[in-house]
């Protein structure tokens, strides 16, 4: 139900100290691959998902769909699919780059206590299609915004997330038995990290380096 204007809350004051801490949160958010076996507190994942649902979405469509994967058989199917896709990816590289790829740890599927799959519901009528006529992919982008919100909220609680992209989306959808109109946006390992660092793991491993922001800016 819409909030009457007279009942609207005053905007909070985000002062300099808060902004500095927020920057620290951004800087220390990592794509985690090494997890402790410790479980998350009861309700922690559900609480993080609630925060994720505060993210913006095109037409207020809220197309995100969160699947908490608990069943061992389904987790095993995901792990097996990752192993197959990862072997195929390794075969696509050659020479020194292949050797470097083989040494990368690209998932924490075995260790992470929580698995979360996030989908975009392309069939939702929430939002009445607003903003998607010329750019239908905005539904997917909205889900990415929710994922980013969840990621930062998790980091603020000392919880790590790892995005596993080396998967076959169709096979993951089948393994999780989800509606055909849902598109896989991301599969995540979630738990307490073994390692804390303000640099990306791929940078520490020598795979790639973070570029300067100026390298990504174009003026017209």
The distance between the two most distant Cα atoms of the chain, rounded to a whole number of Å, is 66
Residue 81 to residue 175: CA distance in whole angstroms: 10
Per the listing, tokens 């009528």 go with 125
User: Where are the domains positioned within the chain?
Assistant: 33-200
Which pair of tokens denotes residue 209?
């380096």
In Å, what is the CA distance from 92 to each residue of 88, 89, 102, 107, 165?
7, 5, 11, 18, 16
Coil/strand/helix, residue 86: helix
| CATH class label, 33-200 | alpha beta
In tens, the pLDDT along 133-173 reads 999 999 999 999 999 999 999 999 999 999 999 999 999 99
Report whether pLDDT(2) > 80. no
> How far is CA 123 from its chain centroid?
22
Record the pTM. Answer: 0.92
Report which of 48, 31, 38 is spatially closest to residue 198, judged by C-alpha positions: 31
Residue 54 to residue 145: CA distance in whole angstroms: 10
In tens, the pLDDT along 109-139 reads 999 999 999 999 999 999 999 999 999 999 9
């Amino acid at each position: 139900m819409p909030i009457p204007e007279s009942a609207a809350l005053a905007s909070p004051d985000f002062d300099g100290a808060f902004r500095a801490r927020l920057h620290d949160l951004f800087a220390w958010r990592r794509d985690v691959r090494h997890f402790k076996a410790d479980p998350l507190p009861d309700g922690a994942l559900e609480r993080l998902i609630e925060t994720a649902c505060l993210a913006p979405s095109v037409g207020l469509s809220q197309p995100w769909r969160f699947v908490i994967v608990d069943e061992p058989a389904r987790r095993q199917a995901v792990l097996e699919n990752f192993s197959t896709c990862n072997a195929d990816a390794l075969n696509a590289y050659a020479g020194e780059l292949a050797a470097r790829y083989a040494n990368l740890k690209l998932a924490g599927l075995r260790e992470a206590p929580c698995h979360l799959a996030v989908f975009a519901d392309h069939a939702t009528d929430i939002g009445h299609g607003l903003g998607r006529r010329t750019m239908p992919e905005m539904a997917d982008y909205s889900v990415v915004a929710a994922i980013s919100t969840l990621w930062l909220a998790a980091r603020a609680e000392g919880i790590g997330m790892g995005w596993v992209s080396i998967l076959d989306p169709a096979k993951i959808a089948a393994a999780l038995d989800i509606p055909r109109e849902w598109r896989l946006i991301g599969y995540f390992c979630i738990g307490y990290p073994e390692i804390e660092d303000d640099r990306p793991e791929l940078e520490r491993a020598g795979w790639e380096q973070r570029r300067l922001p100026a390298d990504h800016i174009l003026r017209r």
